[in-house]
Amino acid sequence: MYGKRPDMTVHQVEPYNAEPPRSALVGRAITPVDAFYSRNHGAVPVGELATWSLRVEGLVGNPGSWSLADLRERFAEHTETATLQCAGNRREGLVAVRDIPGEAPWGPTATATATWTGVRLADVLAAAGVSAGATHVEFLGADHCPEADPPQEFGGSVPLRKATMPEVLLAWAMNGEPLPPVHGAPLRVVVPGYIGARSVKWVDRVRVLDGPSANFFQASTYRLLPADVTPTGTPGEGVELGLVAVNSDVLQPDDGATVPAGPTTVRGYAFAGGDRTVARVDVSTDGGTTWTQAELEEQASTWSWRHWSATVEVPTGEVEVVARAWDSSAALQPERPEHVWNPKGYVNNSWARVHLTGA
């Protein structure tokens, strides 16, 4: 379905929401498109795209509409390697603490990395002429999201400071191939270092604003609420998500695997958004009393995840392998999912844990 591997875990068929098995991500700096998770709130638009163009409007001196050919002709092409991570990544670890009704129990593979090719949003904004007083840039898609209240297109915004950074792209290609429909063709936003939700697919409007977007997916969801609050969907409640906190998980062996007792190489990924990179990963088999430092592969770019591996001794019987990452701000993942549990189940960045049996 949608060109994905047959072994995807499909959380929802329509709109399509799916993530690959852990093994599909092991050791690959760039995720093949057929293994790249897909998170959608509306069906892939089709008819809406027949007359597609990108409208740039709001607090700009020169509003206008751009075809894909216009964008290619007018602006320099750039490619950036960037990891996208869904804010719901690793929600299953929170669901294990307390149920989260109505939200899919995403595992650790709603995180993936591609090369993205397109034009810099900064260049398009410069051509449009951003007016004084602008603070945010809003992206709106061509899709329809019935779950929104009221139903509306998917959208969101980022601060103008981020929007004008060279890494933020309007992209038409992924891993060197034309963007597939399920990933946002003909054009999507790629905001490296931010939750995947801000990289709006099928983008047909870029609006320069004097505040954050009022779109449902910015103002009412993708917000972190305290554990003791019941979400009401009231715009503005809780903390708006955007930048990605340091996170990691184990990709191999799989959780629940039986492995030969003795030295076992554990492999995984770590990711830190914003202006941070992955600085260190530790692995423990005694619940965090002692730690082995993992070997880190290079980050393909400032905006990408970092794969890691560590060889640990797996005893005969059951063992919990724990991993934790540090970012370049010396931030460490928090220990327990209980501490980060929140009513919508976002941003589980507690220590990674897989349970192995040594035989």
Residues of this chain that bind its own copies (CB under 8 A): 161-162, 224, 226-228, 239-246, 273-276, 279-280, 282, 288, 290-291, 293, 326-336, 339-340, 346-347, 349
Using the minimum distance from each CB to its own copies, give the nearer residue, 152 or 220: 220
Using the minimum distance from each CB to its own copies, give the nearer residue, 36 or 271: 271
Q: Min. distance of Cβ 166 from its own copies in angstroms?
A: 9
3-state secondary structure of 304: coil
Q: Min. distance of Cβ 47 from its own copies in angstroms?
A: 37
DSSP state of 169: E
- Please state the φ and ψ torsions of residue 265, each to the nearest 5 degrees: -90, 120
Using the minimum distance from each CB to its own copies, give the nearer residue, 141 or 337: 337
Asked whether 272 and 313 are in contact (CB, 8 A), the reply is no
Give one DSSP letter per residue of 247-261, joined into a string.
EEEEEESPTT-EE-S
Q: Which residue has the tokens 């969101």?
A: 156
Q: Min. distance of Cβ 178 from its own copies in angstroms?
A: 31
Using the minimum distance from each CB to its own copies, give the nearer residue, 73 or 228: 228
Strand bridging mode 188-190 / 223-224: unpaired
The sign of the CA dihedral 129, 127, 168, 44 is positive
Using the minimum distance from each CB to its own copies, give the nearer residue, 125 or 322: 322
Query: Residue 336: which of 78, 56, 93, 81 has the closest Cα?
Result: 93
With vertex at residue 198, the alpha carbon angle to CA 149 and CA 251, rounded to the nearest 5 degrees, is 110
Q: Min. distance of Cβ 326 from its own copies in angstroms?
A: 7
Using the minimum distance from each CB to its own copies, give the nearer residue, 172 or 194: 194
How many angstroms separate the CA atoms of 348 and 359, rounded? 31
Q: Min. distance of Cβ 111 from its own copies in angstroms?
A: 15
Using the minimum distance from each CB to its own copies, give the nearer residue, 35 or 241: 241
Assign 3-state DSSP to the chain and report helix, strand, coil percentages, each to 5. Answer: 15, 35, 50
Q: Min. distance of Cβ 30 from its own copies in angstroms?
A: 24
Q: Min. distance of Cβ 335 from its own copies in angstroms?
A: 6
- Helix (H) / strand (E) containing 322: strand 317-327
